[in-house]
Amino acid sequence: MARVNLRAAFMSGTTSTVTAQQVFTNRVDEVAAFGRSLTELHRALDETEISPVVDRVQGRRNVLVFYGVGGIGKTTLSHELERRLLADSQDSGHEDVLSVRVDLSEDGACDIEALLLRLRAGLGRLGSYWPAFDLALASYWARAHPGEALQEFLDSSPTVRRASRGVGLGEQIAANVAQIVPGAAGGLAGLAQRAALGTYRAIRDRVREGRLLSECELFAELVEADADYETLSFFPYLLAWDLERQPRRRRRPRVCVFLDTFEVLSGRSDRTAERFVQRCVYLMPNVLFVITGRNRIDWADTGAGGELDFAGPQRWPNLHFGNSHTEPRQHLVGYLSEFDADSYLRQALTRDGGPAMPAAVRERIISGGQGLPLYLDLSVSHFAELLARGTEPSPEDFGGSFTAVATRSIRDLPREERDLVRTAALIDRVDAALLRAGQPNLPDGCVARFLHRPFLTYDDAYELPYALHGALRSAIREADRGLPDGWSDRDRAEVAARLMRLLGARITPTTGRAMVAQSLEFGLRLSADYGVFEDWLVQAAQRLVEAGQWMGLEAGVSRQTAGLPELRAVRTAIKGVRLRRAGRAAEAVQVLDGADAGMPADSLTSQLVRIHLAHALRNQGDYTRAAEIYRGLLNGSFDPTARYWLSDYDYLNGRFATALAALRDRPGGTAAEEGERLRLIGHIWRVNACFEEATGTYTEAITLARREGLVAAEAKALANLAQTVCWSGDTTTVAEAADQARELLDLVSNPVELVKVRSAEAVAAALAGDPVAAGAAVADTRQLADEIGYRGGHNLADVAQILLQTLDGDRDGARRTRADLDERTRASGGNTYWVPIATSWLEGADTAAERHPAVEWVTGATRALDRWAAVIARP
């Protein structure tokens, strides 16, 4: 309401006696409920014998909900409650009261990383010492974001940046880490991934030794758990634990978190983001969460148990439908009474100390608005507009439906600005450039004047800082259809297409992921609503997919649409990738198979679907069909990816010369891609017994990984180096490479590489004449492979076992193991080249070449298999 009144004051002119007032219509019941909720929560916390932070089965009584229709004033109420909370604490001299505000419709607000960092920044105003959370976050960040500095992330999102800079969040976290791990804070700041991982290891080792926060139950589990969103969503427990231990002056800190526009979460078909937020609320029982949204939340309903972790009346005793007295609880925000509505209108505009609006005008507005605050806001704005024109408003100028009020709001504007408000109504947020793109023929001055209109909210924390109220956007679109100069569906689609093009043009290789996610979300909504589509949507989706940024895609793909097939295909591709990354490859194949039906094969959308279908098939073990799809993607937008995996397929099936020729002259586009290419070349040289060439290639990959800070890639290349030098029987060199690999794999978990390292040690021990050590290493290789479900690990174990049996003279045993290897590799459709290698040890190179003519050795069958036969002939 403040912007409406401020504009009225400026429009009235210096000679006018009309004065604008900032008014909050006092919702007595809601304000009282907030006060009682705070009192009841902290009374219960003070009186309980066991803190609910520790006793995680206690029912939660820390949620106050205000719900109601759009435009009813929920956001205004939320802001007013926060204002009163802080004003009262200032008046009483309490420094232990703070609030954190999150509008869930904001860009990236539903991302669990951003949400937790905003909560931590808000709590940082109580003090800087939050050891449990900060140390766990440092451990998580080093592994989840290799090479990305935490400070870079804090600065990348406007809302997170604004919250973190106020308390110096990056400095606070680094200081807490430095207190526990002196000299390691630089890793958190992102000087190098190796330093960050060293910080993690130092924290983890002290936890294992019981010397770090041993009194914080589950701290150790959270530090050592997989670094993913699932783990991170339990970190609010650590914030609550730290909050319990903040130094108290006279009483426990009063913390309120205001979650506005909650329907953004509760209205989704996929409740993953809501589940993460609900965990946050449940695990912070010493914080009052004030939730405002259009819908009653169903957490106390037993039917929500399949989608949410904490559901039912025992978990949320105050939130069940029948509770009408115990606070905090759920409140339906009703329409304003006639008295409150008249009070607002009398105070919003005054003349000579009295109401500027005549009683008849107020009655007309109250009758039409039925107590909807947004209706009153627009009516006040319309009254001020008429005064500015020198017209004395009459009752006939007011009343009617909300759509009628929106119609008058449009009619109040000059023709150019009518087109601008229609443009703004097409999309969630705008800036001057986006408005100019929508209306390219309008002068800059017209756009600048429009941006000062009172119905636009402004927040400079966003890249696109201007927005219309959601209810007003819908009403304007409806009202516009009845205006003489209203837009047709074609007009809207044409403007939406221009907006879509500008959103895409803003995405460059250096654009931050927050802006990419915002642009994609807006673009997908424009596509769903107006039937427009651009290929940049596919490229942006793939970019976020590669970065593993699922939360940024949720809102944009949640709408059910029967519109463009391209849009449906993008949504399906995102779902398929999510399933595959969750280890549900078979479901991903089912979802993706045929999702591009009816599209041109060369369309970018079709290629997106097919590349991820191929990946899912490969994960499922269907290498043959995956290869067919990769071949169909050659010379298209996914050509480099398709060629790489086709080369891998050739390598797995013994077409070494073909794979090597394809890889040699195609350097990777990024350091990570180049490292993968070098490693695959090294694999080819290694299985061709060209060990010097393989060693050189792996060494090059290691050097690249170290230079670029790619610790995971360095670990894999070191494991591959161990797999190469082991064939010389040099146990010392193998041990050095294995130790270095394990040191890194201890930080960036990759159990497959541990299997490879152990199999290399088995080979080295066998060739060094230590059958006991070799046998133990073979057994360990099989056990590790079984523990992680890595079938290829048994191939490596078979090879080492055949070598050991051959050297020991147990040729019958070696032949039985070779038969097992033959059966296993044929079933998997890859790595069949190990059988002729084993045959060269048992029957000689010539026999091996004769029996297996299909293998395409790089230097020819005889020379390659002679080199393999020579491995066991060394003295």
Q: Please report, as a single letter, which amino acid is at residue 118.
A: R
Confirm if 521 and 555 have CB atoms less than 8 A apart: yes
Q: What is the structure's pLDDT at 187?
A: 53
Q: Tokens 């290694």 identify what position? A: 686
Other beta carbons within 10 Å of 582: 12
**Helix segments in 389-469, DSSP class H:** 402-411, 415-424, 432-438, 444-450
The H or E element that residue 638 is part of is none
Model pLDDT for residues 45-83, shown as the tens digit of each residue: 999 989 999 998 899 999 999 988 766 778 888 999 999
Q: Which amino acid is at 358?
A: P
* Contact partners, residue 262, CB within 8 Å, separation at least 6: 67, 104, 291, 292, 293, 294, 295, 297
What does DSSP say about strands 288-293 and 330-332: parallel, antiparallel, or unpaired? unpaired
**Contact between residue 297 and residue 262 where contact means Cβ atoms under 8 Å apart:** yes
Distance CA 566, CA 573 (A): 10
The Cα 89–Cα 765 span in angstroms is 71
Helix (H) or strand (E) holding 113: helix 112-123
CA–chain centroid gap for 370, Å, is: 41
* Sheet hosting strand 354-355, strand order edge to edge: 18-20, 349-351, 354-355
> Which residues lie closer than 8 Å to 484 by C-beta, 6 or more apart?
none
In the beta sheet, which residues pair with residue 351? Answer: 18, 354
DSSP letters along 803-836, please?
HHHHHTT-HHHHHHHHHHHHHHHHHHTS-TTHHH
Residue type for 551, please? M
Give the Cα separation of 9 and 233 in Å (integer).
47
**How is residue 136 written in tokens?**
């766990």
DSSP 8-state secondary structure symbol assigned to residue 306: G
Check: CB of residue 615 under 8 Å from CB of residue 649: no
Residue type, 372: L
Q: What distance in Å separates the CA atoms of residue 497 and residue 485, rounded to the nearest whole number?
A: 20
Residue type, 211: R
Q: Which two tokens stand for residue 755?
A: 């299997």
Rounded Cα gap, residues 169 and 32, in angstroms: 34
Instruction: Tell me the two tokens of residue 462.
Output: 């966003």
Query: Residues in the chain, how many?
Result: 875
| Cβ pair 811, 842 in contact under 8 A | yes
**SS3 of residue 98 by DSSP:** strand
The two tokens of residue 385 are: 């507009």
Q: What is the pLDDT of residue 347?
A: 81
Identify which of 190, 193, 108, 121 has the alpha carbon closest to the alpha carbon of residue 149: 190
Taking a C-beta distance cutoff of 8 angstroms, is the pair 626, 617 a contact? yes
Cα–Cα distance for residue pair 496/494, rounded to 1 Å? 5
Contacts within 8 Å (CB) and 24+ apart, 740-743:
741/715
Helix (H, G, I), strand (E, B) or coil at 294: coil
Q: Which residues contact 170 (CB under 8 A, 6 or more apart)?
A: 150, 151, 154, 164, 189
**Ramachandran class of 353: left when φ > 0, alpha when ψ lies in -120 to 50, beta otherwise:** left
In the chain, what is the straight-line distance between the N-terminal and C-terminal CA atoms, in Å? 90
Look up residue 563 and give its two tokens.
Answer: 């519109």
DSSP 8-state assignment for residue 19: E
Question: If we measure between CA atoms, which residue out of 790, 784, 815 comes closest to residue 801?
Answer: 815
Which residues on adjacent β-strands are paired with residue 551?
none
Within the chain, what is the greatest distance between any pair of CA atoms?
A: 111
- Give the pLDDT confidence of 718-739 residue by residue, as tens digits: 999 999 999 998 889 999 999 9
Q: Are 462 and 158 in contact (CB under 8 A)?
A: yes
Q: Both tokens of residue 591?
A: 């979802």
Sole residue written with tokens 């408003």: 393
The two structure tokens encoding residue 857? 């050795």
DSSP count for the chain of H helices, then E strands: 44, 10
Other beta carbons less than 10 A from residue 737's beta carbon: 25
Determine if the peptide bond prior to 158 is cis (ω within 30°). Answer: no
| Three-state SS annotation for 152-188 | HHHHHCHHHHHHHHCCCHHHHHHHHHHHHCCCCHHHH
Cα separation, 729 vs 761, whole angstroms: 9
The rounded distance, in Å, linking the Cα atoms of 714 and 699 is 10
- Structure token pair of residue 103: 């509008």
What are the φ/ψ torsions at residue 457 (nearest 5 degrees)?
Answer: -90, 155
| Phi, psi torsion values for 288, nearest 5 degrees | -85, 120
Distance, in Å, from the CA atom of 725 to the CA atom of 722, rounded to the nearest integer, reads: 5
Beta-carbon contacts of residue 562 (< 8 Å; ≥ 6 apart):
none
Residue 79, amino acid = H
pLDDT along the chain (875 residues), means of 10: 33 42 62 93 92 91 87 84 90 86 80 92 92 92 79 80 87 85 59 70 84 88 87 94 84 92 80 90 96 88 76 91 85 77 83 86 83 78 81 84 75 85 91 94 91 78 79 78 84 95 91 80 89 93 72 45 78 84 78 91 94 86 87 92 92 93 84 91 97 96 89 92 94 94 83 93 95 96 86 92 96 96 85 94 94 93 95 77
DSSP state of 727: G
670's tokens:
């990024």
Place of tokens 């860009």: 107
Backbone torsion region of residue 531, taken as left when φ is above 0, otherwise alpha when ψ lies between -120 and 50, otherwise beta:
left
Q: Counting beta carbons within 10 angstroms of the beta carbon of residue 570, is it exposed (0 to 12), middle (13 to 18) or buried (19 or more)?
A: buried
- Rounded CA separation 227/222 (Å): 9
Which of 284, 281, 286 minimizes the C-alpha distance to 252? Answer: 286
Q: What is the pLDDT of residue 194?
A: 67
Q: Which residue's entry shows tokens 């949320």?
A: 316
| Bond prior to 836 in cis (omega within 30° of 0) | no
CB 721 within 8 A of CB 698: yes
pTM, entire model: 0.71
Q: Could you tell me which of 457, 465, 458, 433 has the C-alpha nearest to residue 447?
A: 433
